Amino acid sequence: LKSLLSYESKLVAKSEAAQARIFPDNLLINKSEAQLLSSWCGRSVHVFPPYISSATRPYKRSWDGAPVFVFLGGLDVPHNAVSLENFIDGYLPKIIEDIPGVLIRVIGKNPAPSLVELVKKFPLHVRVEGYVDSLDEVLHGACAMLVPLLFGSGVKLKTIDALSYGLPIIATDFGVEGVGVSTNHDCIVENDLSKYGYWMEKLIDPNFNQQISRNSYELYLNNYSKSSVINQYSAIFRI
């Protein structure tokens, strides 16, 4: 099976490289994938950000200093469901020891019965809230967003959403895939889940939180806001 998948992968790469050579311009939204395609086809591959059709919201946080964190995403999506349960079961007990008042608000549709049962062990520290009509209150008022994904692919729009609110993020590489963050400047990128508690404690400090928050909002304005994306598209298409 591995040999078959390897052979198929090589065929796909060959086909993609051939297609890319046909066109004068090739565009991808993921930098690492753009570099890979460029190495295959010998052509320059442009990287452009996804366009999220919403007006840029003003910077308006209402976080009061409480250790309230958010997990956001469809709970029937495998990489969300598996990663969240792994995080709660394997790492939350130690985090509670270090941050007794910690609360994780889980926002997303269709939680699995296994998740519902798991959070019953932590009634004061995990709240599964399901779908909410507006994220404003949730994201404006949180300390940070947690994205402890163990696997996944594609650009995580929820990460860009958090940036647009100026909400600090603690994420694995999978959680910021395709998003041009600078580690520990505008986002905390941490693949060792045992260290999430350390970063959560750090972000409870208002000064550090404000620093990351401002940087994350600035990253959004410079790279993902409507005006920025339009300017980048115009440069790529020479219009």
Report the percent of the chain where pLDDT is more than 70: 98
Confidence of residue 239 (pLDDT cuts 50, 70, 90): low
Residue among 64, 57, 71 nearest 209 (CA): 64
Confidence of residue 201 (pLDDT cuts 50, 70, 90): very high
- What is the amino acid identity at position 139? L
Q: What is the per-residue pLDDT for 27?
A: 83
CB 79 within 8 A of CB 175: no
The whole-angstrom distance between residue 152's C-alpha and the CA centroid of its chain comes to 11
Confidence of residue 1 (pLDDT cuts 50, 70, 90): low
Confidence of residue 87 (pLDDT cuts 50, 70, 90): very high
Pick the more confident residue, 177 or 52. 177
CA distance to 46, 78, 181, 205, 208, per residue, from 187 (Å)? 24, 24, 6, 15, 12
> Tens digits of per-residue pLDDT, 120-159?
999 999 999 999 988 999 999 999 999 999 998 777 888 9
Q: Does the structure show a pLDDT above 80 at 45? A: yes
Q: What is the per-residue pLDDT for 195?
A: 98
Residues 6+ apart with CB under 8 A from 154: 30, 177, 178
Q: Does the structure show a pLDDT above 90 at 50? A: no
Q: What is the per-residue pLDDT for 183?
A: 86
Q: Does the structure show a pLDDT above 90 at 12? A: no
What is 21-80 written as a DSSP string? Answer: HHSS-EEES-HHHHHHHHHHHSS-EEE-PPP--SPPPP------S--EEEEES-TTSHHH
Pick the more confident residue, 128 or 53. 128
Average pLDDT, the chain: 91
Please compute the mean of the pLDDT values over residues 7-29 and round it to a whole number.
86
Find residue 145's DSSP bridge partners. Answer: 70, 169
Q: What is the per-residue pLDDT for 49?
A: 79
Quick one: DSSP state of residue 108? Answer: -
Write out 173-216 in H/E/C secondary structure: HHHHCCCCCCECCCEEECCCHHHHHHHHHHHHCHHHHHHHHHHH
Quick one: DSSP state of residue 150? Answer: S
Q: Does the structure show a pLDDT above 90 at 238? A: no
Q: What per-residue string of b and e applies to 84-114 under the rule 16 or more CB within 10 Å gives b?
A: bbebbeebbeebbeebeebbbbbbbeebeee
Q: What is the per-residue pLDDT for 155?
A: 73
Q: What does the chain come to in residues?
A: 239
